[in-house]
Chains A and B, each alone.
Chain A
């Protein structure tokens, strides 16, 4: 008999937990638990009839998930760092207009970048910069200098001490990559990225893998979004965060998904995040984000030494082009994966050999060995898609086709396979040449 009552109780619990409450707002977000928990607590307090549901997914997975769901079954809010993700969703008609939810106190631009979507499909909710986070203990133990610019991470001393992640797994890494590509130009930018990756110890699975690794001393430094670095610092970890000059301050956006269940409640949440109490949450040390609301509106809540987004944006040399970024989104992701993420070992080996050769050939700029070295560098650090190809609209079109079409799938796979194989060959060749040059 006791067993039977247990079964009934369990069944009852099961049914009640099916959550048949009508007022649930589901949010897809890539933000960490500290932030979402803080918002959940605050929002539910002021809106007792609404329950906030968090779906934690990285940007790419979140987008894929969204695409799978039929109208009427979708979550209400999409809330991630990368603006280009929103561009893509807007193009795919997955977002509703949110013009009427704008907070008038929020400035129009940050630097030269618009805070809100001109078309009105998403709003800037926070500001994010990209920079370098480093572990002071690690640096001290390995006798590394404090990095201030991206270029600092390319030095031979940094070999094996950098942590990076792939743009396919991290919206913020993608933004960092695009920032570098847009400020340096396609080919020079890839040169920087390849060399930085050559210096890296690993390509982590999620964007948090880099700040996590730096925090616990696995890596010396790495590119991270500012709040990861700042929140770790304020949590007491021996880390520091700096914004290089070559950085972009871009909005982290929030959008209303079309075809959701509880659109009205979703709107309430979005409005909340843009309100003063909602923006104040961003200033909590565990969250450490930059608000879109100017500091004038948040007097008394801003901690000392807190970065000033407007100042940073003014200092930055990069004007982020969202259109460009979203047009070549797929290509950048796949190129990075096939030539860096999945070929890291070979790239590292080539880099090591090149550093060794550079050390041996210090000062020598002419002669067969120097030529071999130059060739090695060219092989290792030149992207397989050149300037011409990336500007070719026909090329871009291939990657924006319907993936369900086997022809499209085949063509894309062909490129991926090609990049993968060729980059392996090139890295190995580079390594050989560099080794020979060092002899």
Chain B
């Protein structure tokens, strides 16, 4: 009775895309893990996994590192969040900046820099050893991974927790004060439980990201963890090695489990109690002593957070830096090398990430439109499938691609699909889609549908309404989504490592990794890293500016009620 309208076609198209580039590869991974050489279903590979002490150790280590890093990140973030929200504190802006700095650094670059500063013969330990005769094994083995990851990911907890704390109605606290609770008891019984949702959301995110990360453990040489093991098996033993797929399946299952667990814990606990006209938690003054402590803590964290940035900067200008707190001398030669040898990497990054971000915005807007503005059956599936990409480690997606598209040629040529950069770009797009989708959904939710209805009542077709009313009003959110996609894709390494087949294909992230492979390449690698950081920082700033500007503009358009 109903001919397949535009929206239905769009939905099918998107579903098709997601099927080919998300569902199929992951299914391939699962199938490979569960089938033997003859193609029959077997649990034998999993049996082998659980029998190999190395695999069990890697599994345990990955869990241990992810958990420890989450806890460490929480330890850093909780006092900072509390300071920001609770006290009249001029350092609040400082904390906000702290919360952004780690995210603009590609983690593996940071790892190298931290090695230089905190490693066994790094600046800090050299000085400590000279003065006090002690050394801090901060970067030894798994500790190094935990340290780097915690420093990199704590902003996720900081941001979520701050929002949660800000959403607590001040009356909650006053009621408790009124009944005799204060200080620590007040915090433990009332404030922290109410802020729990933000905290749990942040911790879960950190856990999953650390669990799935390939670049940092690899660069630090901690190969007895799941992600590096999967990578090593597939690249060194071959695409047919079943163990690589078993590990991939374990990683997916566990990531999904962690996310499900956090959703479960948060079920029914939306404690945003702040009502219109209500006050947030009362801000207090810091006493002199407390002030010193607070600034001290922030100062320490700031030093830690900035150390990779400083380290990379120094390394990019260092002529020789060996067994000394600071480099021997400084030079601009590394930047020259980068601009000579690798301008292609910059353009590759721009190309892949730009296209990927563009696809994300296109898909994100379409899915948001289909979900919020149509009544298509099962449209929420699009949301779920797209968001499922969050739980898929980049490495595993890449493995899936290599497996699914093995031997497939680009139609009309004799070039292998897997040898082109197309898959790299698609991997970026799929993995970043959940974030872009959230941005677009939020943007569209702020456009009151009466605005579109007004256009329709004046004779505009659906497509024209979309183009002339909806998209301009969503523009800010879409742009923010574009920038977020772009900058996170620009520092991605896990999938990139698996999918890059030629040096000329390499984007900046892989280029940095390549440079880091030789002694004289560390300088140029760091220089490239600095360029990447600058690009990402500019992008982040641009995104914030765009969103706030857009909010200012569209406030006028928003009808009341």
Q: Which residues of A contact B (CB under 8 A)?
A: 7, 10, 13-14, 17-20, 26, 32-34, 36-37, 53-58, 60-61, 64-65, 67-70, 72-73, 135, 137-138, 141, 168-169, 201-206, 208-209, 211-212, 215-218, 228, 231-232, 235-239, 261, 286, 338, 341-342, 345, 403-406, 409-410, 413, 416-417, 420-421, 424
Q: A32-B521, A68-B239, A404-B240 are in contact. Are A14 and B351 (CB under 8 A)?
A: yes
**B351 contacts A420, C-beta separation under 8 Å:** no
A–B complex contacts, Cβ < 8 Å, 17 sampled:
A10-B358, A18-B413, A20-B413, A53-B504, A55-B503, A168-B236, A169-B232, A201-B120, A202-B221, A205-B228, A231-B518, A237-B322, A406-B36, A409-B48, A409-B242, A410-B44, A417-B52
Q: Determine the distance from Cα of A17 to Cα of B345 in the docked complex, in whole angstroms.
A: 13
Within 8 A of A (CB), among B352-397: 354-355, 358
**B36 contacts A61, C-beta separation under 8 Å:** no
**A37 contacts B341, C-beta separation under 8 Å:** yes
**B44 contacts A406, C-beta separation under 8 Å:** yes
**A218 contacts B503, C-beta separation under 8 Å:** no
19 A-B pairs besides A33-B341, A208-B519, A218-B115 with CB distance below 8 A are A18-B415, A32-B517, A58-B236, A64-B238, A69-B416, A70-B407, A137-B322, A202-B221, A208-B518, A236-B319, A237-B320, A238-B320, A238-B323, A341-B223, A403-B238, A406-B37, A409-B48, A413-B48, A420-B52
Shortest B288–chain A CB gap in Å is: 43
**A138 contacts B121, C-beta separation under 8 Å:** yes
Smallest CB gap from A61: residue in B:
B235
Shortest A50–chain B CB gap in Å is: 14
Q: Determine the distance from Cα of A14 to Cα of B406 in the docked complex, in whole angstroms.
A: 22
Q: A138-B121, A413-B52 are in contact. Are A205 and B221 (CB under 8 A)?
A: yes
Q: Determine the distance from Cα of A73 to Cα of B414 in the docked complex, in whole angstroms.
A: 8
Give 1 or 0 for each of B109-129: 1 = CB within 8 Å of chain A CB.
000000110011100000000
Q: Which residues of A contact B238 (CB under 8 A)?
A: 64, 67-68, 403
Q: Determine the distance from Cα of A168 to Cα of B54 in the docked complex, in whole angstroms.
A: 15
Q: Which residues of A contact B452 (CB under 8 A)?
A: none
Q: Determine the distance from Cα of A201 to Cα of B57 in the docked complex, in whole angstroms.
A: 20
Smallest CB gap from B425: residue in A:
A14
Q: Determine the distance from Cα of A135 to Cα of B321 in the docked complex, in whole angstroms.
A: 12
B53 at the interface (CB under 8 A from A): yes
Per CB-CB distance, the 3 closest pairs between chain A and chain B, nearest first, are A217-B323, A32-B518, A217-B121
Smallest CB gap from B241: residue in A:
A403
Q: Name the contact of A34 in the complex, choosing from B53, B228, B324, B521 (C-beta under 8 A).
A: B521
CB-based A-B contact count at 8 angstroms? 169
B321, B406, B519, B521: which has the most chain A beta carbons within 10 Å? B519
**A33 contacts B320, C-beta separation under 8 Å:** no
**A231 contacts B520, C-beta separation under 8 Å:** yes
Shortest B114–chain A CB gap in Å is: 12
Q: Name the contact of B37 in the complex, choosing from A138, A209, A231, A405 (C-beta under 8 A).
A: A405
Smallest CB gap from B322: residue in A:
A217
Q: Determine the distance from Cα of A84 to Cα of B218 in the docked complex, in whole angstroms.
A: 26
Shortest B479–chain A CB gap in Å is: 11
Q: Determine the distance from Cα of A82 to Cα of B415 in the docked complex, in whole angstroms.
A: 30
B420 at the interface (CB under 8 A from A): yes
**B503 contacts A64, C-beta separation under 8 Å:** no
Shortest B60–chain A CB gap in Å is: 13
B51, B121, B235, B413: which has the most chain A beta carbons within 10 Å? B121
Smallest CB gap from B355: residue in A:
A10
B501 at the interface (CB under 8 A from A): yes
Shortest B400–chain A CB gap in Å is: 15
Q: Determine the distance from Cα of A330 to Cα of B37 in the docked complex, in whole angstroms.
A: 21
B502 at the interface (CB under 8 A from A): yes
**B501 contacts A238, C-beta separation under 8 Å:** no
B46 at the interface (CB under 8 A from A): no
Q: Determine the distance from Cα of A58 to Cα of B219 in the docked complex, in whole angstroms.
A: 15
Q: Determine the distance from Cα of A168 to Cα of B221 in the docked complex, in whole angstroms.
A: 14
**A53 contacts B322, C-beta separation under 8 Å:** no
**B221 contacts A211, C-beta separation under 8 Å:** no
**B239 contacts A217, C-beta separation under 8 Å:** no
A14, A33, A409: which has the most chain B beta carbons within 10 Å? A33
Q: Determine the distance from Cα of A10 to Cα of B350 in the docked complex, in whole angstroms.
A: 10
B237 at the interface (CB under 8 A from A): yes
Shortest B144–chain A CB gap in Å is: 10
Q: Which residues of A contact B521 (CB under 8 A)?
A: 32-34
Smallest CB gap from B337: residue in A:
A37
Q: Which residues of B contact A67 (CB under 8 A)?
A: 238
Shortest B116–chain A CB gap in Å is: 7
B435 at the interface (CB under 8 A from A): no
Q: Which residues of B contact A413 (CB under 8 A)?
A: 48, 51-52
Q: Name the contact of A417 in the complex, choosing from B53, B407, B413, B501 (C-beta under 8 A).
A: B53
**A410 contacts B520, C-beta separation under 8 Å:** no
**B514 contacts A212, C-beta separation under 8 Å:** no
B248 at the interface (CB under 8 A from A): no
Q: Which residues of B contact A58 (CB under 8 A)?
A: 236
B67 at the interface (CB under 8 A from A): no
Smallest CB gap from B116: residue in A:
A216
**B355 contacts A56, C-beta separation under 8 Å:** no
B494 at the interface (CB under 8 A from A): no
Shortest A211–chain B CB gap in Å is: 6
Q: A70-B407, A205-B218 are in contact. Are A135 and B236 (CB under 8 A)?
A: no
Q: Which residues of B contact A421 (CB under 8 A)?
A: 53
**A72 contacts B414, C-beta separation under 8 Å:** yes
B223, B239, B358: which has the most chain A beta carbons within 10 Å? B223
**B224 contacts A342, C-beta separation under 8 Å:** yes
**B519 contacts A237, C-beta separation under 8 Å:** yes
Q: Name the contact of B52 in the complex, choosing from A61, A206, A406, A416 (C-beta under 8 A).
A: A416
Q: Determine the distance from Cα of A69 to Cα of B414 in the docked complex, in whole angstroms.
A: 13
**B221 contacts A239, C-beta separation under 8 Å:** no
Q: Which residues of B contact A420 (CB under 8 A)?
A: 52-54
**A404 contacts B37, C-beta separation under 8 Å:** yes
Q: Determine the distance from Cα of A58 to Cα of B513 in the docked complex, in whole angstroms.
A: 13
Shortest A231–chain B CB gap in Å is: 7
Smallest CB gap from A36: residue in B:
B503
Smallest CB gap from A229: residue in B:
B519
Shortest B58–chain A CB gap in Å is: 9
Q: Which residues of A contact B502 (CB under 8 A)?
A: 26, 53-55
Q: Which residues of B contact A215 (CB under 8 A)?
A: 322, 519
Q: Determine the distance from Cα of A354 to Cα of B218 in the docked complex, in whole angstroms.
A: 31
Smallest CB gap from B240: residue in A:
A404
**B421 contacts A231, C-beta separation under 8 Å:** no
Q: Which residues of A contact B324 (CB under 8 A)?
A: 137, 217
Shortest B37–chain A CB gap in Å is: 5
Q: Which residues of A contact B121 (CB under 8 A)?
A: 138, 216-218
**B519 contacts A228, C-beta separation under 8 Å:** yes
B166 at the interface (CB under 8 A from A): no
Q: Which residues of A contact B48 (CB under 8 A)?
A: 409-410, 413
Shortest B561–chain A CB gap in Å is: 33
Q: Which residues of A contact B406 (CB under 8 A)?
A: 68
**B320 contacts A236, C-beta separation under 8 Å:** yes
Smallest CB gap from B421: residue in A:
A17
**A232 contacts B519, C-beta separation under 8 Å:** yes
Q: Determine the distance from Cα of A306 to Cα of B160 in the docked complex, in whole angstroms.
A: 60
**B522 contacts A212, C-beta separation under 8 Å:** yes
**A55 contacts B120, C-beta separation under 8 Å:** no
Q: Which residues of A contact B443 (CB under 8 A)?
A: none
**A286 contacts B503, C-beta separation under 8 Å:** no
Q: Determine the distance from Cα of A203 to Cα of B354 in the docked complex, in whole angstroms.
A: 38
Q: A10-B351, A403-B241 are in contact. Are A216 and B57 (CB under 8 A)?
A: no
Shortest A203–chain B CB gap in Å is: 7
Q: Which residues of A contact B437 (CB under 8 A)?
A: none
**A212 contacts B518, C-beta separation under 8 Å:** yes
Q: Name the contact of A206 in the complex, choosing from B242, B358, B515, B517 (C-beta under 8 A).
A: B517
Shortest A147–chain B CB gap in Å is: 17
